[in-house]
């Protein structure tokens, strides 16, 4: 039986619809706008989940009068309901500056506040999150969503199985952080106490999503000023009058310690030995000014700069107890440059881990602790298993060159859930996205940016507001954990028949890449239905 979605199907079976109501459940796999009618949507729904899981549902509220209303969840399962605000997007899906004008439109993405100003006759989407306790008894529970005096039920069927806490999940999530966007937006000094206080809720959001890496910047702007905010160095490099080098790790240390305390990590990805413009800023004490070394990876100057830096850096992270956590990270660099950098690393900092997001190169793959290729590419057969046996990480990523599925503000909502789940189903360890909080000038109102698809640079909002995209990503990670745990369970039980049934169904439901115009939402719903079979 094909499912429209896990929420609406169960409610349709019950036969309750919002013929004249203000409030109804809706399909979270699509966007809803103010002119939407809620008459076709059910007033009751069912969610199947595991213990310890965070589950989401979407409701529509169509007010009869203007005013301020508040959404509230009540019942045995704790949760919250928040209105979804709109942000400007357009139809561009690509890299660089759009070659034509795209008509802007509003998309519901910002998960805002429980209270909202509403206008009579204009529908508003409402995001409902339920936090299923890890020690709750398996069974059936009923909560209620209430807005403006009207309530609709939501039935939660809790499986006997439990999903691990975020810190204990095996999925390798790597969302690159941009702390300078937050200091710029709020007008505080970078790395001041006020800045760190502002960073706390964002770090917690990452930790709750199972974020495994801390993004650290070694030299000024590794990506050539392509973002709205500069990536300033967290290590200050000084060249003395006698030609020797010194380093100040104050910001780096405080950043790593802070993120670790917030539950992010353990890995520390340090960018980058091979920046996009191959320019390295340092402070020349003889000239009392900053200088830039413009060079290539095969030059003597490059070798001198990095041999000194890496030798001192390795000693520092060893002293801090972080050597095994630290990676020298590169992004989409050529094999020739990678080989030059690896040679210097192995000479100056033997044993230091290396990561690359880019193409698969068999000549260097064994030396890369973390290797992430684009979502549409493939590792050679058996390579991921070989790398995993060596304790290495093999993941998939999307960026502006992947029109769909992706996490743009104009992407289908279910794309964000599909990406991590697809990574797990196809045998990979995790998912990477190059930006999480690279805010535009007006991120709460306009997600468009001059160089990328709208929303490609961020999917978390100021005031620590989550997004539909981010919550669906977490949903996909939880589904990934369910797939992993079911596979382990069936292997431990020597239940080869059920394991094969599960894997076959999952591979059918998650194509290597969805066909043009295929619905990632239908695929997610199908996989939810498959997992729900195993009670």
Dump pLDDT digits (tens) for 392-404. 999 999 998 888 8
Dump pLDDT digits (tens) for 102-115. 999 999 999 999 99
Whether the Cβ atoms of residue 474 and residue 460 lie closer than 8 Å to each other: no
Angstrom distance (rounded) from CA 134 to CA 276 = 45
Residue written as token pair 């989940």: 49
What is the model's pLDDT at position 131?
98
What is the model's pLDDT at position 111?
99
Sheet with 105-111, strands from edge to edge, namely 23-26, 54-61, 124-131, 79-89, 105-111
Return the structure tokens found at 378.
Answer: 């493939």
Topology of domain 6-161, CATH = Immunoglobulin-like (2.60.40)
Please name the residues in contact with 12: beta carbons below 8 A apart, sequence gap of 6 or more: 4, 42
Angstrom distance (rounded) from CA 200 to CA 116 = 26
pLDDT (average), residues 459-463: 98
Instruction: Give the lowest-confidence range in 99-103, 162-166, 205-209, 492-496.
Output: 99-103
Residue written as token pair 């080869």: 496
Residue written as token pair 């989401």: 56
Whole-number average pLDDT of the chain: 93
CA 186, chain centre distance (Å): 23
Higher pLDDT, residue 233 or 377: 233
Angstrom distance (rounded) from CA 462 to CA 359 = 34
Using CA atoms in the order 347, 384, 470, 86, what is the torsion angle rounded to 10 degrees? 100
pTM: 0.93
Angstrom distance (rounded) from CA 209 to CA 166 = 6
Which neighbouring-strand residues pair with 74?
144
Q: What angle do CA 450, 451, 457 make, to 5 degrees?
A: 95
Whether the Cβ atoms of residue 71 and residue 145 lie closer than 8 Å to each other: yes
Residue 518 scores a pLDDT above 80 = no
Using CA atoms in the order 510, 138, 156, 57, what is the torsion angle rounded to 10 degrees? -40
Angstrom distance (rounded) from CA 484 to CA 230 = 39
Residue ranges of the chain assigned to CATH 2.60.40.10: 6-161
Dump pLDDT digits (tens) for 288-331. 999 999 999 999 999 999 999 999 999 999 999 999 999 999 99
Residue 8 scores a pLDDT above 70 = no
Most confident of 90-94, 393-397, 507-511, 522-526: 393-397
Angstrom distance (rounded) from CA 235 to CA 282 = 10
Helix-helix angle 415-425:520-532, to 10 degrees: 60
């Amino acid at each position: 039986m094909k499912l429209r979605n896990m929420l609406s199907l169960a409610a349709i079976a019950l036969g309750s619809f919002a013929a004249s109501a203000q409030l109804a459940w809706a399909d979270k796999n699509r966007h809803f706008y103010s002119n939407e009618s809620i008459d076709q949507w059910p007033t009751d729904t069912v969610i199947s989940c595991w213990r310890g899981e965070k589950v989401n549902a979407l409701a529509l509220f169509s007010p009869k009068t203007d005013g301020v209303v508040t959404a509230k969840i009540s019942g045995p399962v704790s949760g919250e309901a928040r209105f979804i605000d709109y942000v400007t997007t357009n139809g561009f899906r690509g890299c660089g500056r759009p070659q034509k004008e795209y008509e802007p439109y509003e998309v519901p993405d910002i998960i805002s506040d429980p209270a909202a100003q509403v206008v009579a006759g204009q529908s508003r989407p409402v995001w409902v999150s339920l936090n299923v306790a890890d020690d709750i008894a398996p069974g059936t529970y009923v909560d209620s969503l209430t807005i403006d005096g009207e309530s609709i039920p939501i039935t939660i069927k809790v499986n006997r199985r439990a999903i691990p806490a975020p810190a204990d999940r095996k999925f390798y999530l790597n969302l690159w952080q941009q702390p300078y966007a937050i200091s710029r937006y709020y007008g505080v000094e970078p790395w001041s106490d006020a800045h760190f206080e502002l960073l706390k809720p964002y770090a917690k959001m990452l930790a709750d999503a199972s974020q495994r890496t801390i993004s650290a910047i070694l030299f000024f702007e590794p990506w050539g000023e392509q973002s709205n905010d500069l990536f300033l160095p967290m290590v200050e490099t000084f060249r003395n009058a006698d030609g020797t080098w010194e380093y100040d790790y104050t910001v780096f240390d405080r950043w790593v310690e802070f993120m670790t305390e917030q539950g992010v990590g353990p890995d520390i990805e340090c960018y980058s030995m091979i920046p996009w413009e191959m320019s390295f800023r340092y402070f020349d004490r003889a000239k009392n000014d900053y200088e830039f070394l413009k060079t290539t990876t095969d030059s003597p100057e490059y070798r001198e700069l990095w041999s000194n830096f890496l030798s001192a850096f390795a000693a520092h992270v060893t002293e801090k107890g972080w050597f095994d956590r630290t990676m020298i990270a590169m992004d989409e660099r050529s094999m020739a440059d990678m080989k030059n950098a690896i040679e210097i690393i192995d000479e100056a900092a033997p044993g230091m881990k290396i990561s690359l997001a880019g193409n698969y190169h068999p000549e260097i793959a064994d030396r890369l602790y973390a290797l992430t290729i684009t979502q549409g590419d493939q590792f050679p057969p058996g390579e991921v298993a070989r790398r995993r046996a060596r304790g290495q990480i093999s993941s998939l990523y999307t960026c502006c060159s992947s029109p769909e599925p992706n996490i743009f503000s104009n992407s289908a909502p279910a794309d964000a859930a599909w990406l991590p789940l697809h990574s797990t189903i196809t045998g990979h360890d995790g998912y990477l996205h190059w930006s999480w909080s690279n805010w535009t000038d007006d991120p709460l109102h306009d997600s468009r940016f001059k160089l990328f698809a709208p929303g490609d640079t961020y999917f978390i909002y100021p005031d620590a507001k989550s997004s539909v995209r981010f919550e669906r990503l977490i949903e996909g990670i939880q589904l990934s954990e369910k797939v992993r745990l079911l596979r382990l369970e069936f292997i431990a039980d020597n239940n080869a028949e059920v394991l094969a049934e599960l894997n076959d169904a999952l591979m059918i439901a998650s194509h290597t890449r969805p066909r043009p115009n295929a619905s990632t939402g239908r695929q997610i719903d199908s996989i939810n239905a498959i997992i729900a079979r195993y009670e």
